[in-house]
Structure 1
Amino acid sequence: MSPGNPAATAAPSGIRFDGVSVAYGENTVLDRLDLTVEPGEVMALLGPSGSGKTTALRAVAGFVRPASGRVLIGGRDVTPLPPNQRGIGMVVQQYALFPHLKVKDNVAFGLKAHRTPKAEIAGRVTEALELVGMAAYAARYPRELSGGQQQRVAIARALAIRPGVLLLDEPLSALDARLRSGMLAELARLHRELPDVSILYVTHDQVEALTLADRIAVMDRARLQDCGTPEELYRRPRTEFTASFVGNANLLPVTVTGPGRVDLAGTALDVPTDTAAPGAAATLCVRPHLVGIGAGPNALTGTVTEVQWRGSTHRVHAEVAGHRLMADLRELRDPPALGDPVTLHFASEDAVLLPAGTAPEATESPEAPETPKKAQAVASG
């Protein structure tokens, strides 16, 4: 480890979930998760409330014990180890700073818990605070900081122990939109400066996942539904659930009529069908920003049901053959009105054909109970 460089870490990196299941009584909240986070990779766990994503993160942290399976960090089985022996840093949405301690003492807390030599602590605290741009606030109390500044201190505390794995549990959800945007940029910068640290990022926010993650694992109903790069999941989703949860999507039920041809309520459309057999039911996925207005390929006629002005675009909702179709249209000087007839179209190459019935109904399942703030602080440093 290089002195004075908090980005250099001797702690093991990389995470592997090996068939990890977590249950509370008869309720399974994480079901046979197999997933690998490579050294230096940012993996986002994305999903609705109750999907199992937070339980997965807490299994890595050591706050919940799997009913079956193993959690490995840097190739080492850490399943039986307590949180403070796993070499991890953790940041949660509530910051979990100690209000009676100054910033520098909050950051030093984990170092002391890990029995770092006293002579090293001051330097390590300064390094971590400089990394997040908070060195000038070392003598302040948390109450004297903004929400974004408090979150930076929480990140500095997690980094001070030089972890191989950094766990982020909805770290930006308590911030307003402007601060959240700024912190996204800061987290992206930190990722560049910590090339050896594996980051597991839990969020329900699509923008955060698409902005920060090298790969996204989509969770629902305690199971992993899909995993891939942000571009793969956005441009070529494999299921209806992924298409609807990673960005907005038009999902239209169609029937395959032949190679490159489908039928939507009597309208023939040209779309890639790959190996789908004629007569098969399928779901047509088209992103709203790829839908145009007026005549064009794959034209669909309907009635405008809603128009939303969004600054740079108008989102037009139309009823087409009994189904809703959304279009994000730029620079409309004369947008259609409610009840107007409208023709919308899309290019064949912008459509993705998905297997029908791949959108599981969202159900609330119990997640892991809240982790005591002190325990979180010990784990995160």
Structure 2
Amino acid sequence: MTGGATQGSGIRFDQVSVAYGGNIVLDRLDLTVEPGEVMALLGPSGSGKTTALRAVAGFVQPVSGRIRLGDRDVTGLPPHKRGIGMVVQQYALFPHMRVRDNVAFGLKARKVAKAEIPERVAEALELVGMAAYATRYPRELSGGQQQRVAIARALAIRPGVLLLDEPLSALDAQLRSGMLAELARLHRELPDVSILYVTHDQVEALTLADRIAVMDKARLQDCGTPQELYRRPRTEFTASFVGNANLLPVTVAGTTGAVDFAGQALAVPTGEVEGGVTATLCVRPHLVGLGDGPNALTGTLAEVQWRGSTHRLYVDIHGHRIKADLRELRETPALGDKVTVHFAAEDAVLLPAGAGFGGGVHG
């Protein structure tokens, strides 16, 4: 499909709000998906992420704000005039149609020349590895194969924008892993297509996205590359939702590069956070070690979970439960034992109280 695909146009949310019956479900979303970029909308149920995608598709109408695809204002356009490919979580294939006819459906609806349709269908099926299944019916396919056909149908129209709404949620873990790899390959082969990917699964977002927009309570909470959001989150919500984090309430001691946690001094980078203010200390569980070391904290072992390649220890310290993910733990402490954990100063992130995301023009 390279060479014939529609040039990627990018997506622009300009202060877009959506309401149902007076209830705001998307609140002034200001975000840009660059041409050729994969942007994941990540958040819990009810966060507004699917509403944002449906607004781009034209299935819901904003009460305020504008939506642009490239230089086109599409806010008032019906879905079929937006030139968008879309894949939903339940595939929505027509059961009475063969695979090739399902893929051809969007082309026929757009009145593509009949002579051109077979080539476009074959091209799309080849791209998703389903060329050998063109004459089968959906009922003769596995879940993963049906999803590939749904993606082929979306790509056949050569969209500049591809919308994916929880596309892997109906698949089992093994199929989901395989489809993640396939979607990553498709992105490499279609570098001009902008992709908006809605998911509540952090692994999918971290694996596929160039950037992640974190949504909660109808608003954009944070936006950045997967590495930025994981290593240096800017809000408590991001720290807890993207990956997993220990979040400890602390008071900044001053300009000495130290904070106070329940009466114990910890050496961490304080940056420009003023002394005397409350803040939240964020440390990822895999960066917490067992035994003496820098920023050592002693508490009671409350729980141990074996997770195959790691053990997760839950340690109660000063009324807070700290998680530590440890590899190669040859001797597991007993529940109720006193244990000491530690973390390096450079592995901690200090989040000022009330830290929020400004959400500039480009998200």
User: How does the TM-score come out when normalised to structure 2?
Assistant: 0.97
Contact 1:253–1:356 (CA under 8 A) maintained in structure 2: no
User: Is the aligned partner of 1:159 residue 2:155?
Assistant: yes
Alignment of 1:22-61 (within 5 A): 22-61=18-57
3-state SS in 1 of match to 2:259: strand
Return the offset for 1:75: 1.6
Partner in structure 2 of residue 329 of structure 1: 326
Partner in structure 1 of residue 223 of structure 2: 227
Return the offset for 1:68: 0.5
Return the offset for 1:12: 5.1
3-state SS in 1 of match to 2:75: coil
Of the three residues 288, 307, 311, the one matched with 1:310 is 307
- Per-residue displacement from partner, 1:216-236 (whole Å, max 9, x unpaired)? 000000000000000000000
Return the offset for 1:356: 2.2
Alignment of 1:88-127 (within 5 A): 88-127=84-123
Unaligned residue ranges in structure 1 (runs of 5+): 361-381
Q: Does 125-134 or 269-278 show the bigger shift? A: 269-278
3-state SS in 2 of match to 1:130: helix
Alignment of 1:247-266 (within 5 A): 247-259=243-255, 260-266=257-263
Q: Please identify runs of 4+ aligned residues in structure 1 that moved more than 4 A.
A: 357-360
Report how many residues are paired: 356
User: Is the aligned partner of 1:244 residue 2:237?
Assistant: no
Return the offset for 1:25: 1.8
Alignment of 1:1-381 (within 5 A): 5-6=1-2, 8-11=4-7, 13-259=9-255, 260-358=257-355
Return the offset for 1:82: 0.6
> Whose RCO is larger (CA < 8 A, sep 6+)?
1
Residue 148 of structure 1 aligns to which amino acid in structure 2? Answer: G
Distance 1:258 1:338 in 2: 37
3-state SS in 1 of match to 2:253: strand
Return the offset for 1:357: 4.2
- Per-residue displacement from partner, 1:123-168 (whole Å, max 9, x unpaired)? 0000000000000000000000000000000000000000000000
Contact 2:44–2:216 (CA under 8 A) maintained in structure 1: yes
Contact 1:6–1:124 (CA under 8 A) maintained in structure 2: no
Distance 1:352 1:8 in 2: 46
Structure 1 residues 139 and 335, CA, compared in 2 at 3 Å: closer, same or farther? Answer: same
Return the offset for 1:8: 3.5
Return the offset for 1:11: 5.0
3-state SS in 1 of match to 2:250: strand
Return the offset for 1:97: 0.3
What RMSD over aligned residues (CA atoms) do the two structures have, in Å? 1.2
Contact 2:2–2:189 (CA under 8 A) maintained in structure 1: no
Return the offset for 1:199: 0.1
3-state SS in 2 of match to 1:96: coil
Return the offset for 1:13: 1.4
Contact 1:165–1:199 (CA under 8 A) maintained in structure 2: yes
Distance 1:32 1:244 in 2: 23
Partner in structure 2 of residue 369 of structure 1: none
Distance 2:76 2:103 in 1: 27
Return the offset for 1:71: 0.5
How high is the sequence identity, in percent, across the aligned residues?
Answer: 81
- Per-residue displacement from partner, 1:36-71 (whole Å, max 9, x unpaired)? 000000000000000000000000000000000111
- Per-residue displacement from partner, 1:180-225 (whole Å, max 9, x unpaired)? 0000000000000000000000000000000000000000000000
3-state SS in 2 of match to 1:258: coil
Contact 2:7–2:192 (CA under 8 A) maintained in structure 1: no
Partner in structure 1 of residue 360 of structure 2: none
Return the offset for 1:358: 4.9
